[in-house]
Amino acid sequence: MSAPADMGAHSGADSASSFARLARGTMARSLGLVLLGGVVLFLASEALDSYNDLQLASGAYYFVALAGLTVLTGLSGQISLGHGALMAVGAYTVALLVGNEQWALVPALAAAVVVSSLVGIAVGAAASRLRGPYLAGATLAFAIGLPALAEEYPGTFGGANGLVIEPPTPPSWLGASFPLERWEAWIAGAGALVVVFLMSNLAHSGVGRSFRAVRDDEIAASLCGLHVGRVQTLAFVVSAACAGLGGGLLAVVLQLAAPGAFELGLSLALLTAIVLGGLGSLLGAIWGAAVLVLLPGWTNDLAHSFSLSTKVSANLPLAIYGFVLIVGILIWPTGIQGALRRIMGLVRRSPQGGSRELDKHSTSGSGGAST
């Protein structure tokens, strides 16, 4: 179950024929994953009440953004503290097109992907010159700088209040009583499934391999004829496209695109979620999305189940979040997915397949290279 979505697993396809077989296998496996995911999502959305359907929808749009970030950081070894801002690009695109121009949902989401990809080209081209903490600093500045535009041009972007869009209407054949939240969960879930299919294929394709080659050794990769800067920019564009789609879905689910939702905290939460979930794997992105969606609710309930002073109960959820981050990383250095894989005994200690190995390499670009 975990193996197909593991984007780090290398496949020794040397001859052309075995490569073709592998490509077909990958495609079939991705389709299988999507079908399975679709069935699970459908059953879950039917079983859950509307509050939990909304959480499912939130999990789905977070997953979309996280899948992009884990491609960037896990596969190509670049760090980004600015993905919250790329989500904002997608969200505002959808809000402007659906709200002002009355576009249909799917073309608006596609436009969000295009626009955020274009921004991703610019950011990625700049990012490909930077390493480790300098890249972190530049993307951090991007994360805090971009939302300021919304307040600078209130006429277009609605200032601090943001842009409100109409809720999506479930089609009539689903019945008049079909809950809106379930429809939103379906929309966001469909987006997530598209991303699963594309990213899972990408990771096993030549492009994914070139990402990993650049991550592991830039000089060796360029000796093999790869244009390192171009590969890194492409990784950034792919990841920005996912972030844009995630942001667009967020705008649809929340029916709002406002600067408050895309502050630095979101970018940092995305980064912590992929590392805590398990870097470089789509399953890790699922765990990360689950943490982002479920943890605040649980900790809030916990904080209010004791009779504590408001000072303490107001801050307890945050304290637990910080504590979980620290302890989680200390006891599972390879994230939840890495820990699960070890528990299930699925780690083969081959020089290429070990999850620990993958993690070490995947992060070497975010600090080691600049020393």
In the complex, minimum distance from the CB of residue 106 to another protein, in angstroms, rounded to a whole number: 32
The residues pairing with 6 across neighbouring beta strands, listed in sequence order, are 281
Of the pair 57, 138, the CB lying nearest another protein is at 138
Q: For residue 185, which of 247, 249, 98, 103 has the smallest C-alpha distance?
A: 249
Buried-state track 310-340, b at ≥16 Cβ within 10 A, e below 16: eeebeebbeebbeeebeebeeebebbbbbbb
Of the pair 19, 323, the CB lying nearest another protein is at 323
In the complex, minimum distance from the CB of residue 202 to another protein, in angstroms, rounded to a whole number: 21
User: Do 8 and 355 form a contact (C-beta atoms < 8 A)?
Assistant: yes
Of the pair 97, 150, the CB lying nearest another protein is at 150
Of the pair 97, 293, the CB lying nearest another protein is at 293
In the complex, minimum distance from the CB of residue 321 to another protein, in angstroms, rounded to a whole number: 6
Of the pair 170, 335, the CB lying nearest another protein is at 335
In the complex, minimum distance from the CB of residue 230 to another protein, in angstroms, rounded to a whole number: 17
Q: For residue 149, which of 193, 119, 113, 110 has the smallest C-alpha distance?
A: 119
In the complex, minimum distance from the CB of residue 145 to another protein, in angstroms, rounded to a whole number: 3
Of the pair 107, 333, the CB lying nearest another protein is at 333
Of the pair 219, 343, the CB lying nearest another protein is at 219
Which segments of the chain does DSSP mark as H helices, in order?
A: 2-5, 16-47, 50-70, 83-94, 105-127, 132-145, 147-152, 154-157, 180-204, 206-216, 218-223, 228-254, 264-277, 282-305, 310-331, 335-343, 355-362
Q: For residue 76, which of 220, 203, 223 has the smallest C-alpha distance?
A: 203
- CA distance linking residue 365 with residue 311, whole number of Å: 41
Q: Give the number of C-alpha atoms closer than 13 A to the C-alpha of residue 29, restricted to the C-beta side.
A: 19
CA 346 to chain centre: 25
Residues in contact with another protein by the rule CB under 8 A: 73, 79, 126, 129-134, 136-138, 140-142, 144-149, 151-152, 217, 219, 264, 268, 271-272, 275-276, 279, 311-312, 314-316, 318-319, 321-326, 329-330, 333, 359-360, 362-364, 366-371
In the complex, minimum distance from the CB of residue 87 to another protein, in angstroms, rounded to a whole number: 17
In the complex, minimum distance from the CB of residue 267 to another protein, in angstroms, rounded to a whole number: 11
20: exposed, middle or buried (C-beta count within 10 Å: 0-12, 13-18, 19+)? exposed
In degrees and rounded to multiples of 5, residue 164 shows phi and psi of: -100, 135
